[in-house]
Amino acid sequence: MAKPETTSEPGIKERLGISFRFLLGFLRPHLKLFVTGLVLLFVSNAVFLAFPYLTGQIINELSGGDPWIIRGVGTLSVLLLVVLTVRAFLSFGQIWLFGAVSNRLSRDIRRRLYGHLLELPVSYYDSHRTGELLSRLSNDVTQLETAVSDVLADLVRQVLVVVLGIAIAVFLAPQLALFMVLVVPPVALGARRLGRIIRDRARETQDLLAESSTIAEETIAGVATVKSFANEQFEADRYNEALHRVLAKAMETVTLRALIGSSIGLLVMGSLILVIWFGATLVDAGSLAVGDLISFVIYTGFIGGSVAGLGNSITRIQRVLGSSERVIELMQMDPEPGLSADVKSDSSRRESRAPAEHPALPPLADALELRSVSFSYPTRPDLVVLKDLDLTIPRNSRVALVGPSGSGKSTIVRLLLRFYELNEGSILRDGTDITGFDLRAYRSCFAVVPQDVLLFGGSVEENIRYGRPDATAGEVRVAAEAAHMTEFVDRFPEGLGTIVGERGVQLSGGQRQRVAIARAMLRDPEFLILDEATSSLDAESEWLVQDALDRLMQHRTTLVIAHRLATVRKADSIVVLDQGTIVEQGTHEELTQVPDGLYAKLVRMQGLGDAVEAPPRL
């Protein structure tokens, strides 16, 4: 017999406990400021609660009621002003301290979260959209920031007012206080129940908002594609539909929040009227002074307002709970395997532009080998990309990968860089499995010149220096000259200081590719990967860059991915792939001697030989 499902209450408590421990971990470095803020919050609200009492004493003084230890309307009024002034200074200190803690908290969480995002494997990004991750880094962390600066402060203040207010009310008029307390529990219970109902609605609204942000981020990033297909209206409609879904869900939440506010307001005002009526009967009977009744009514208003505010605070806590759960879920994702413990702790340290230190690997002595490698992408486990593949890349050799699209060329590069874990087989460096090396140390031996070059939005010099952040200006200049960049960079007024724009949009495709080549030259890698490195260049630029690449490839292990076969004729070994397996391997001269081979067909297809009778399988 199946066990009955547990109620949601234990789950909520457990989730709150997890979120509290998460925030407490980030609060510890700032605990002194936070505790000081709590003390000031307590004292300022305690001082403010003297306001109704002193007001009542002024009324008693005017009506000739029971005298207090301090006499005179003027003296009492001055004391009241002193109380309000002291409370103002205490409130300033409390607000400043909570603001300082919350801003430092958000900085620390964003720094840790961003560092963790950089440590996640590439496979994670394959299944998660950029806009969603940016929403976690921005919107959800902002919710956590307000949890400390606003939500927590409001909640503590409301609880203090309720507890201390009831205590003072009991002291002033026990009978009237008992009458008032009978009304408070139903109000609090109603606020809690309604707050629980809207929790899921609030989280769903945040998720839908993240989806709409993702649409906008993708459209803006690919605005050239949108415009080239004249799909502006299509994208506007898609974003508009997403906003309508956000609005519909948000209005559900607004309706429930309005229900909370109106219901609690009705209960509070109704109870206040009843308290005034009952208090008036006590005054008429001579058992309660008029000033004490006025003080009691003010305290009742304070208590009622705080109880009503608890409903809003509960709602905001639910939003914070959803945000903290998403951040915690992201930070609990396992980082890439192979990151050493000291490297993984870098994300929690203060930012530094110095290159990260990692253990050096001995120079490649023999070869990099793929043995019996089979692989499927995590997002497409049913599609086998590489099948029992064996490949050896000897030291200081030039190996070219060619073949139809989808044959597995780029996948081999991703596996060599350990972007993914193998399904079967192993990759060996001088006979040692690469999973035994520190991941960053292993990757530091590579430099990649991709076909689609991504530049960061800084200057040309900063993008070249990305290959080796500690390089001198002279070394950057030498790399630029070696990549034949000076012929266009020197025409810019700012030279190497020219801003390339987001993703390098201020440069042409060929110019971006030469920046990538200069970056690789500056890195001076042990292992060079060229992925159609000259595909975006005109004939003259291609000759210049190819000359630079030839010098760069000297005495260096190089893997070349090529679709244009004219660029791989000088390779020591050409590996022909088809449907994830190696079908041919040899030099250009050897492979062209096999007329029925796939390589020979590709050569003829590109006009480098005789006409081809049937196109290769693409």
Domains and CATH numbers, the chain: 8-331 (1.20.1560.10), 364-445+563-618 (3.40.50.300)
Residue 366: how many CB atoms within 10 A of its CB?
12
How high is the pLDDT of residue 64?
Answer: 60
**What is the rounded CA–CA span in Å between residue 425 and residue 336?**
19
Q: What are phi and psi of 573, to 5 degrees?
A: -150, 130
pLDDT, tens digit, 9 for 90 and up, residues 358-399: 556 888 888 999 999 999 998 888 889 999 999 999 998 999
More confidently predicted of 150 and 85 = 85
More confidently predicted of 256 and 236 = 236
**What is the rounded CA–CA span in Å between residue 535 and residue 566?**
11
Assigned token pair, 413: 């590069």
Q: Which of 512, 520, 522, 545 is nearest to 474 (CA)?
A: 522
pTM: 0.69
Q: Which of 524, 517, 530, 526 is nearest to 570 (CA)?
A: 530
pLDDT band at 195 (very low <50, low <70, confident <90, very high): low
Instruction: Examine the pLDDT at 9 and tell me if it is beyond 70.
Output: no
Q: Which of 515, 513, 533, 534 is nearest to 523 (CA)?
A: 515
CB 426 within 8 A of CB 386: no
Q: What are phi and psi of 265, to 5 degrees?
A: -60, -40
pLDDT, tens digit, 9 for 90 and up, residues 19-40: 777 877 888 888 888 889 888 8
Cα-based angle 167, 81, 172 (whole degrees, multiple of 5): 20
